[in-house]
Structure formats: C-alpha cells, structure tokens
C-alpha cells in the first residue's frame, strides 16, 4: 500500500503557480527526499501534505484515506521544522508531553512514550532543562522527539539540519537514518543539500520551479541524471 499519494496537486499563491500538477506515490516505510534549490517549492509541498496550506487543485491520500480536507492534527503526520519551534517556557519533558496531554492521553501512556523517545534520541538527561539551556543539536533532537511521541505513520522534515554546523549535521544525519531503520515509518525529507539527499534517501525527487525533474533512487539520479539541471544540481557543491 502507498503511504502517501499525491494526485494532480497544484498550488497557486494568487496568480503565481508554485506547484504544478504534481503526482508522487510514497511507499510504506520509504524515505523520500525532496531536493532542489531555494524557492523551488519544497516547503510549500511539505506544508500541503501536512495540511498547513490549502491546495488549489488535486488530492492527497495518507494510508489510503483522502485527507485533502482534513485538519493537520487528523492526518497522522508529525512534522519537524528547520527552526526548532519548541515552547521556550516549558521544559523538554513538557515540550514532549504537551500535545499528548491536549489529546487526552493517559499519564502512564505519556510517560511510556517519553521514556521511549528519550532513549532512542539520547535526550534522557535533558528532560528537565528548558530549550534555552540546550545546544542546537540537542534542540533538534527534542524537536524530532516531539514528532516521535505522537506515534504517527508519516514524518515530515523541513531542512531539519540546515541551522547546525557541519559536524552536528553529519552526526544527526546518521541518527535520522538510524531512527528510520528502527521505526520503519515513512519519511518525507526536504533539503537543498545533495549529500544529505544521497545518503538518506531511498528515492529522491529533484524539484525545480514547482515541477519534479526526476524521481529515482540515489544511484540512478547520480549516474543517470535525466537532464542538465539534475546533472548540474547534483554535481554542484551545496
Ligand atoms: P523552498 O522550500 O523550495 O525554498 P518554498 O516552498 O518556500 O521554496 O517557496 C516556493 C515559492 O513560493 C517561492 O517562489 C516563494 O517565494 C513562494 N511562496 C512561498 N510562500 C508564499 C506565500 N505565502 N505567498 C506567496 N508566495 C509564496
Ligand atoms: Mg523551504
């Protein structure tokens, strides 16, 4: 079964067409990377899937269910942004539990999920700290933890590592890969970084100007770029 299906999706901002008639099928458990230069529509597409933007045309299915008109919270997705979007006044533990308490989960279940996320992401010692007392890498782990505790089918990442320095970026890249192996859930990951795309992806969708230029596995993209744009974008430094 397909985890996420995007059918004939278009999005206009006023008279400007930002996404044009996109069709993408993401397999269950797949790690799909949306790769392209700044302004090509990656975040817009991710926000459409998350339900944060209303699409102009087309349909979105998650786990076979048409969610085109569903609220973000009812789509079964968790999202991690580039800026950490943590609640500054709450401890890490509260940041992790807040959404679950709002959703009315029993306290014991909340504790269980937080313990699980803390173990997987190695943030146990940080639970009583506030975001201001964390490094950038630690904050991003907590942000991933917030998606993790929700126990969702699909994770959406929007350039989660681009605010970090090179060393942390490669560390967290390995960690995200490990997380994907462990959870085996579907991940859609936006980046403009070719190395990140080539190392993380099962398949890469290379975008330009709101269109998909090529959707293939990393080796095929690397060895058989379909056009000059894909070839030069993959070959250029990040
Ligand atoms: P990316 O994430 O690939 O850098 P975006 O999805 O953020 O690109 O943006 C795609 C295009 O849509 C850009 O040209 C951007 O200027 C435009 N855009 C994004 N958000 C809005 C908005 N709210 N209103 C008008 N234009 C927007
Ligand atoms: Mg973006």
Class of residue 236 by CB neighbours under 10 A (exposed 0-12, middle 13-18, buried 19+):
exposed
Report residue 70's pLDDT band, with 50, 70 and 90 as the boundaries. very high
- Which residue is closest in CA terms to ligand 1's atom 14? 39
Average pLDDT of span 90-98: 95
Closest C-alpha among 103, 119, 107, 193 to residue 152: 103
66-75, 87-96, 159-168, 183-192: the lowest-pLDDT one: 159-168
Q: Identify the residue with better confidence: 237 or 115.
A: 115
- Which residue is closest in CA terms to ligand 1's atom 2? 43
Can you read off the two tokens belonging to residue 167? 């060393």
Class of residue 184 by CB neighbours under 10 A (exposed 0-12, middle 13-18, buried 19+):
exposed
Q: Judge if the beta carbon of residue 43 lies within 6 A of ligand 1.
A: yes
pLDDT for the residue numbered 30: 97
Compute the distance between CA of residue 190 and CA of residue 42 in angstroms, rounded to an integer. 6
Can you read off the two tokens belonging to residue 101? 């308490």
Q: 44-58, 71-85, 146-160: which has the highest mean pLDDT? A: 44-58
pLDDT for the residue numbered 237: 56
Of all residues in the chain, the percent with pLDDT exceeding 70 is 99
Q: What is the ipTM of this complex?
A: 0.97
CA of 205 to the centre of ligand 1 (A): 18
Q: Look at the chain and count its residues.
A: 238
Class of residue 22 by CB neighbours under 10 A (exposed 0-12, middle 13-18, buried 19+):
buried
Q: Judge if the beta carbon of residue 54 lies within 6 A of ligand 1.
A: no
Closest C-alpha among 192, 88, 95 to residue 143: 95
**DSSP designation for 38:** T
Q: Judge if the beta carbon of residue 192 lies within 6 A of ligand 1.
A: no
Average pLDDT of span 111-115: 96
**pLDDT digits 0-9 by tens, 172-223:** 899 899 999 988 999 999 999 999 999 999 999 999 999 999 999 999 999 9
Task: Find the largest Cα–Cα distance for the chain.
Answer: 55
pLDDT for the residue numbered 120: 87
Report residue 25's pLDDT band, with 50, 70 and 90 as the boundaries. very high
Backbone angles phi, psi at 107, to 5 degrees: -55, -40
16 pLDDT more than 90: yes
Of all residues in the chain, the percent with pLDDT exceeding 90 is 76
Average pLDDT of span 42-63: 96
236 pLDDT more than 80: no
Backbone angles phi, psi at 5, to 5 degrees: -125, 130
92-96, 114-118, 159-163: the lowest-pLDDT one: 159-163
Mean confidence (pLDDT) of the chain: 93
- Which residue is closest in CA terms to ligand 1's atom 26? 13
Average pLDDT of span 7-14: 97
What is the Cα Rg of the chain in Å?
Answer: 18
Q: What percent helix, strand, coil does the chain show, rounded to 5?
A: 40, 25, 35
State the CB neighbour count (10 A cutoff) for residue 24. 20
Compute the distance between CA of residue 47 and CA of residue 92 in angstroms, rounded to an integer. 25
**pLDDT digits 0-9 by tens, 127-143:** 999 999 999 889 989 99
């Amino acid at each position: 079964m397909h985890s996420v299906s995007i059918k004939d999706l278009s999005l206009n901002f006023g008279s400007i067409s930002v996404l044009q008639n996109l069709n993408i099928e993401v397999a269950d458990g797949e790690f799909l990377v949306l790769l392209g230069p700044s302004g090509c529509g990656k975040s817009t597409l991710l926000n459409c899937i998350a339900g944060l933007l209303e699409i102009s045309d087309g349909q979105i299915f998650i786990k076979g269910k048409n969610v085109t008109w569903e609220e973000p919270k009812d789509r079964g997705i968790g999202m991690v942004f580039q800026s950490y979007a943590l609640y500054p006044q709450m401890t890490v533990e509260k940041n992790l539990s807040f959404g679950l308490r709002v959703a009315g989960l029993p306290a014991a279940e909340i504790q269980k999920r937080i313990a699980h996320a803390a173990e997987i992401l190695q943030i146990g010692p940080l639970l009583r700290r506030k975001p201001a007392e964390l490094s950038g890498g630690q904050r991003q782990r907590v942000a991933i933890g917030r998606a993790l505790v929700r126990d969702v089918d699909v994770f959406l990442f929007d350039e989660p590592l681009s605010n970090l320095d090179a060393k942390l970026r490669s560390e967290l890249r390995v960690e995200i890969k490990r997380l994907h192996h462990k959870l085996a859930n579907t991940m859609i990951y936006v980046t403009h970084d070719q190395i990140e795309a080539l190392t993380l992806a099962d398949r890469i969708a290379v975008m330009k100007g709101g269109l998909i230029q090529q959707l293939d596995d990393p080796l095929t993209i690397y060895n058989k770029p379909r056009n000059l744009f894909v070839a030069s974008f993959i070959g250029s430094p990040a």
